[in-house]
Amino acid sequence: MAVWALGINHTTAPLDMRGRFAFASDQIAPQLHGLRQSMARPPEAAIVSTCNRTEIYCAGDESALDHTLTWLAESGGLTANELRAHTYRLEDGQAARHAFRVASGLDSMVLGEPQILGQLKDAVRAADEAGALGTTLSQMFQRSFAVAKEVRTSTEIGAHSISMAAAAVRLAGNLFEDLAQVKVLFVGAGEMIELCATHFAAKNPKAIAIANRTLERGEKLASRFGGEVMRLADLPDRLHEFDAVISCTASTLPIIGLGAVERAIKKRKHRPMFMVDLAVPRDIEPEVKALGDVYLYTVDDLASVVQTAQASRQAAVAQAEAIVDAGVQSFMHWVDQRRAVPLIQQLNAQADEWRLAELTRARKLLAKGEDMDTVLEALSKGLTQKMLHGAMAELHAGDATARERASNAIQHFFLRNSR
């Protein structure tokens, strides 16, 4: 069984390219189906898609990395050659190591951040529900979760972590003297927006509003922070009211355009506006960044902010990597054992066939009135002869090399206790 992984992330591909390959949650099942059906022998498969990465994990009889690359490239409207330079392609132990490091937060933009573990679990659950998760990938991911738990409980890898949400608050604090006088608009109502709202709410801003496609979810989040809720359709008319806008939706197209921001700035009499686009693909048109009174940051722009706390955690990285190494070795040992399963099954089937043949013969002899001890003696001799027939035949083979090989094998398997 081969295991392989193909992916792009914040270190290998720019934001707009990552946006081409960002899959919404409701796209995962059909994409998995399409990937598996594109191969003659459908592999086990799982897709991980977050704002910082899109990764495909597969397991099958033999690696199909090139085919997987071609399939992913076509899904984003690129050729395999165009995408290749931005991907990492890993097999077997290296693929497992990458999955374990991702789960443990060692491959994240924010070292040790815990959010990726939940996203990975969601991806595994989606693959399972789509019928694409088999024994090998399931075992690999379950082990990755166990490794991640050990890393978090026995190292300081997550200590003093600066999350994307905290980084956004820090940047806003650099722009505004007093966040208590700032009106904040959150666009979306997912997990990332909830994290951001929690961090901003701790600064007691002047007002909080949630704009979401469905009012029910927006109202639930707004009620937690004493904020108001609005429809996305109302954004263009009300954008000027807010000093800070943080957006993270699953929209495939920008929902805040250049024209809307220009009108908002004009209504604000050019008072500065702080904007953070945490979505992949983008929620805010990139041209907005050129406006003089707008401070627009993307997920990639936040990288330098979150890196500031990295140095204090580097001492824990070596310990975490050692835990990952042990997990990878254990998983690959399990995979090696799995490779012997077909042979073990054949051996058990052959032994059962011999056993049933001798039992049938013994029952016939008993039915004829043969003595019990005589029948048992015949059964044991018959079973022994069947089990040793192949070994004896090899020992009597004409080829000296074959006899030597058979002799060593027989001593190893049958005469171990006599040595």
As annotated, the active-site residues are: 51
Q: Is 19 annotated as a binding residue?
A: no
Question: How remote is the C-alpha of 245 from its chain's centroid?
Answer: 30
Q: Is 273 annotated as a binding residue?
A: no
Candidates 291, 205, 289, 192; CA nearest to 241 is 205
Contact 8, 21 (CB under 8 A): yes
Question: How remote is the C-alpha of 51 from its chain's centroid?
Answer: 13
Q: Is 68 annotated as a binding residue?
A: no
Residues in CB range of 356: below 8 A, 6 or more apart: none
Residues in CB range of 272: below 8 A, 6 or more apart: 175, 243, 293, 294, 295
Work out the number of other CB atoms within 10 angstroms of the CB of residue 96: 28
Residue with tokens 């290749």, as numbered in its chain: 84
Residue with tokens 């007093």, as numbered in its chain: 178
In whole angstroms, what is the distance from residue 354 CA to residue 53 CA?
54
Q: Is 53 annotated as a binding residue?
A: yes
Work out the number of other CB atoms within 10 angstroms of the CB of residue 332: 16
Q: Is 51 annotated as a binding residue?
A: yes
Q: Is 2 annotated as a binding residue?
A: no
Q: Is 189 annotated as a binding residue?
A: yes
Q: Is 119 annotated as a binding residue?
A: yes
Residue with tokens 């040793």, as numbered in its chain: 388
Q: Is 346 annotated as a binding residue?
A: no
CB-neighbour burial class of residue 144 (10 A; exposed 0-12, middle 13-18, buried 19+): buried
Q: Is 188 annotated as a binding residue?
A: yes
Work out the number of other CB atoms within 10 angstroms of the CB of residue 99: 31
**Alpha-helical regions (H) of 61-190:** 65-75, 80-84, 92-103, 115-129, 135-154, 164-175
Binding residues: 50-53, 108, 113-115, 119, 188-193
Binding residues for NADP(+): 188-193
Binding residues for substrate: 50-53, 108, 113-115, 119
